[in-house]
């Protein structure tokens, strides 16, 4: 699987017509794969597309939750677009989901998340980020299970919000749901993340496809 940095949308060419979860095929508008910079140091993982992402095909866009995350990325210098953009100009950031299809009435089942896991695993493996940012409780549980040696139930939001967890091969910085972030939580995340960004990240990292 090769990266195509000529496009930010689904740069790894993953199956845009996936039918592995029959119950979601009739409820989704489209499959929403990852989006952004394939050489990113920072990879943000949400639970599942919302109404906006299902419409735009781009994670964390088109609705309040998406705009609030894009605003945070902009304040961190990782997004050169307005928070309302349907095709944000992300740099050094990649956004994706555990599950790639939306059901308007329920979250994804464990089976559906498991079915999509190879997509997420491939994105993480290809990008090889420095920091994984699980966005929300479900993403934190899944990322902690896969990439730490600590039982996932020891990490809970909001306590883990804006902290650094040492993982297997990555640092993990959980974020509470952007839609419900208080001003204090937003400020805490920005302050913590800016401190991490001040470090000298992989100056020798090869920027694939640039």
Residue pLDDT, tens place only, 101-134 = 999 999 999 999 999 999 999 999 999 999 999 9
Q: Is residue 176 part of a domain?
A: yes
Tens digits of per-residue pLDDT, 79-96? Answer: 999 999 999 999 999 999
Q: Is residue 189 part of a domain?
A: yes
Q: Is residue 157 part of a domain?
A: yes
Domain total in the chain: 1
Residues 6+ apart with CB under 8 A from 15: 31
Mean pLDDT, range 65-74, rounded to an integer: 98
Q: Is residue 124 part of a domain?
A: yes
Give strand ranges (E) for 84-188: 93-97, 131-134, 165-166, 171-172
0.75 surpassed by pTM: yes
Q: Is residue 17 part of a domain?
A: no
Q: Is residue 209 part of a domain?
A: no
**Domain containing residue 189: CATH number:** 3.40.470.10
Q: Is residue 159 part of a domain?
A: yes
Domain that holds residue 110: 22-197
Q: Is residue 204 part of a domain?
A: no
Max Cα distance, the chain (Å): 46
Instruction: Return phi, psi of residue 51, to 5°.
Output: -60, -40
């Amino acid at each position: 699987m090769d990266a195509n940095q000529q496009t930010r949308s689904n740069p790894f060419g993953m199956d845009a017509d996936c039918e592995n979860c029959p119950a979601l095929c009739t409820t989704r508008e489209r499959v929403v794969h990852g989006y952004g910079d394939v050489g990113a140091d920072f990879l943000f993982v949400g639970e599942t597309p919302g109404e906006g992402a299902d419409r735009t095909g781009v994670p964390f866009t088109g609705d309040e939750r998406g705009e609030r995350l894009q605003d945070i990325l902009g304040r961190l210098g990782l997004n050169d677009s307005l928070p309302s953009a349907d095709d944000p100009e992300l740099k050094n950031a990649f956004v994706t989901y555990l599950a790639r299809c939306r059901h308007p009435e329920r979250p994804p089942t464990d089976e559906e998340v498991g079915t999509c896991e190879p997509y997420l695993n491939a994105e993480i493996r290809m990008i090889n980020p420095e920091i994984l940012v699980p966005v929300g409780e479900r993403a934190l549980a899944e990322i902690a299970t896969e990439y730490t040696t600590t039982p996932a139930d020891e990490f809970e939001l909001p306590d883990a919000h804006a902290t650094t967890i040492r993982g297997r091969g990555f640092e993990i910085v959980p974020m509470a749901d952007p839609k419900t972030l208080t001003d204090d939580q937003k400020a805490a995340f920005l302050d913590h993340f800016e401190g991490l960004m001040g470090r000298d990240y992989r100056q020798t990292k090869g920027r694939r496809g640039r």
